[in-house]
Amino acid sequence: MKKTILLALITVISVFPAVSKAQIAITAVPFLQIEPDSRGAAMGNTGVALADNAAAMFWNPAGLAFQRDNQISLTHSNWLKNFNVSDLFYDYVVGKMYIDGIGTVGGHITFLNLGEQAVTREDSPDVISRFNSYEVAVGLSYGFEVNKNLALGSSLRFIYSSLASGTSVGQQRVNPGSSVAIDLAALYKTNYFSLGGNNAQFSAGFNLSNIGPGMQYTDNAQKDPLPTLLRFGTAFSYELDPEGFNRINVALDVSKIMARTKDQITTNQDGTQDTMRVASGPLEALIDSWDSWTHFNGQENVEVSLLQQFMVGAGLEYWYNNTFALRGGYYYEDPNNGDRKYITFGAGLRYNAIGVDFSYIKTLESDHPLANTLRFSLLVNF
């Protein structure tokens, strides 16, 4: 029974390709890094320098400062379809509102349903009990203009993770984990300038997300760090004709996990010592994560250099009359740091106050867990 519960916990944590394989062992709640909106997902998981809709709360909350409209958006995806699990799905609800004299504020709810799990004994397939696994995050965001070109932003979220609540591992009861996290972000946009007789704009931004204390599911000594992520990127927008009916956006994002664990040695009453892997503090990890590190890939120890820890996404978007959009992109991770490589596609449609986006992932491996993943987003402006 103990092994069954541990297997369930490991499976629940490790199946998410939102965090590379090299980071699975050291981060909790990787669902926080699933790209929530279909637009950014269709552009190779980019958005930190675009951030011009409600989904800016994920990509770059500083982008809210340049927005003056009100919007609600809902994204749904049947997650990891290749696992053929009907009750594994991801939902993201986000809304923003402009308040005169204050600026644009927003809120979001992220929910990942992991389905029902069964507990059995080691020597029998009989089900002893069942439990539901899910994770949820609720947050608020705000962006403000430093000047007409530069904006700063931040988010605050509460995270709740119920993986195997009500069960026990050995003598330890498994409890829901909870934590709080903040984001710190900035976005710079140039004034529109003429390029070939048409309008163009360049933007750059960064977002350091999910800074906070680690998650614990059993005792206080065992904590896993949050998936703190540093994402920075650039974007270039260009109108293909003087009237602005045809426009393209090109985006490039580079990201890196800013989390580490360390060995903690405790001395027992009988003089023996135990070594345990614990999460580095959030501020300590921001410094420690700028070096190489070693992980066990199931067969051997593999060293991951600093350069290999960076993940890269690139995307292209075409708009016609701000009504119809076509999108494409590419995402890459080093083979020693997750080895995710896939092409993304998508489209969008806007009519009056309603918008619809979808994205599709074409993995380079046919049996990859993310293969054929679809996301659908509905946007309502008011």
| Tens-place pLDDT, residues 302-318 | 888 999 999 999 999 99
**CA geometry: angle 334, 335, 340, nearest 5 deg:** 75
Which pLDDT score is estimated for 129? 73
Which pLDDT score is estimated for 26? 67
Which pLDDT score is estimated for 372? 85
| Closest by Cα among 265, 371, 251 to 314 | 251
d(CA 356, CA 248): 18
d(CA 57, CA 270): 51
Per the DSSP assignment, residues forming a β-bridge with 262 are 278
Residue type at 332 in one-letter notation: Y
Q: Which residue pairs, CB below 8 angstroms and at least 24 apart, start in 316-321?
A: 316/43, 316/248, 316/249, 316/250, 316/251, 317/39, 317/43, 317/248, 317/249, 317/250, 317/251, 318/246, 318/247, 318/248, 319/246, 319/247, 319/248, 319/249, 320/245, 320/246, 321/245, 321/246
Evaluate whether 113 touches 89 at the Cβ level (below 8 Å): yes
Structure tokens at 14: 């490790």
Which pLDDT score is estimated for 160? 95
| Closest by Cα among 369, 302, 368 to 336 | 302
Evaluate whether 235 touches 194 at the Cβ level (below 8 Å): no
**CA geometry: angle 17, 187, 232, nearest 5 deg:** 35
What phi and psi values does residue 237 have, to the nearest 5 degrees? -115, 135
What is the pTM for the complete model shown?
0.86
What phi and psi values does residue 256 have, to the nearest 5 degrees? -155, 135
d(CA 309, CA 126): 43
Which pLDDT score is estimated for 169? 64
Which pLDDT score is estimated for 15? 43
Per-residue pLDDT of the chain (382 residues; tens, 9 = 90+): 444 444 444 444 444 433 333 344 468 898 999 999 999 999 999 999 999 999 999 999 999 999 999 999 999 998 877 666 667 899 999 999 999 888 899 999 999 998 877 777 767 777 777 778 899 999 999 999 999 999 999 999 999 999 877 676 666 777 888 999 999 999 999 999 999 999 999 999 999 999 999 888 876 557 788 999 999 999 999 999 998 899 999 999 999 999 877 666 667 777 776 666 666 777 888 888 898 877 766 677 788 899 999 999 999 999 999 999 999 999 999 988 888 899 999 999 999 999 999 999 998 877 778 888 899 999 999 8
Read off the CATH number of the domain in which 143 is found. 2.40.160.40
Which pLDDT score is estimated for 274? 67
d(CA 257, CA 97): 31
Which pLDDT score is estimated for 231? 97
Question: How long, in residues, is the chain?
Answer: 382
Evaluate whether 315 touches 302 at the Cβ level (below 8 Å): no
Q: How many domains is the chain partitioned into structurally? A: 1
* Domain with 167 in it: 2-381
Evaluate whether 201 touches 236 at the Cβ level (below 8 Å): yes
Which pLDDT score is estimated for 101? 86
Which pLDDT score is estimated for 215? 85
d(CA 199, CA 242): 7
Evaluate whether 46 touches 60 at the Cβ level (below 8 Å): no
Which pLDDT score is estimated for 115? 82
Helix, strand or coil for residue 264? strand
